[in-house]
Amino acid sequence: MPVDMDEIIRAREEADCLADATTVDAALARMAAEITAQLAGSNPMVYTVMNGGLILAGRILPRLPFPLEVSYLHATRYGHALKGTQLDWRVRPTSDLRGRTVLVLDDILDEGHTLHAILQYLRAEGAKEVLAAVLAHKVHDRKAYPGMRADFTGIDVADRFLFGCGMDYKGYWRNAPGIYAVKGL
Ligand SMILES: O=P(O)(O)OC[C@H]1O[C@H](OP(=O)(O)OP(=O)(O)O)[C@H](O)[C@@H]1O
Ligand code: HPA
């Protein structure tokens, strides 16, 4: 289906800003300090969940002042839709993870099915320890299991449809510098 670019532009103009760029920066600095305190001596393999985790990875990795390796995996549950369905693995992790500490970076923990499946997969691959960091944690009671949370969270956000900082609205506005909620959603 062709994208209505006027609607995409309107969505950005009319959105509510839930966290501006300064707030996001402060959250990234805090997360980086927490990750450093916990993982600095663990030689972690850091996996970015494409596509949404791209911005978090690009912004937080330079703030981690210790040795680590970087890789990516690609799993998607939403595509351009506003509701998640079955997880579609596009690229599975390829490195040897036996005995490794693994940190997974993603933009958002919404219902958590994506992260849950990824963490399970990485553990089954033999990782010694698997941790997750997300920029946004959506607050609601529809998690994959009650009380689900990442090990490191940037900002708790309202139960609305969000974009910015890696999160997309119909494939657009991952590049928006803060976290925004689509008007009416
Ligand atoms: O917690 P959940 O309800 O499972 O949703 C969170 C996932 O959804 C988004 O990915 P999406 O499937 O939209 O793919 P994308 O990363 O390419 O945007 C986001 O990047 C997370 O990976
Ligand atoms: O609110 C959201 N916005 C963008 N992508 C998402 N993936 C899960 N929830 C969201």
pLDDT digits (tens, 9 = 90+) for 93-129: 988 899 999 999 999 999 999 999 999 999 999 999 9
Q: Which residues contact 173 (CB under 8 A, 6 or more apart)?
A: 8, 11, 12, 163, 164, 167, 180
Q: How confident is the model at residue 86 (pLDDT cuts 50, 70, 90)?
A: confident
Does residue 80 have a pLDDT over 80?
no
Are the CB atoms for 77 and 114 separated by under 8 Å?
A: yes
Q: Which residues contact 57 (CB under 8 A, 6 or more apart)?
A: 46, 48, 70, 105
Architecture of domain 5-78+85-181: 3-Layer(aba) Sandwich (3.40)
Which atom of ligand 1 is nearest to 110's Cα? 1
Does residue 144 have a pLDDT over 80?
yes
72 lines ligand 1 (CB under 6 A): no
- Give the Cβ contact number of residue 23 at 10 Å: 15
52 lines ligand 1 (CB under 6 A): yes
pLDDT digits (tens, 9 = 90+) for 60-74: 999 999 999 999 999
Given ligand 1 and candidates 55, 77, 82, which is best to mutate, with the most ligand atoms within 8 Å of its CB? 77
Q: What is the pLDDT of residue 8?
A: 97
**In the chain, what are the domain boundaries?**
5-78+85-181
From first CA to last CA, the distance across the chain in angstroms is 21
Q: What is the pLDDT of residue 168?
A: 96
Share of the chain above pLDDT 70, in %: 99
Distance CA 73, CA 142 (A): 25
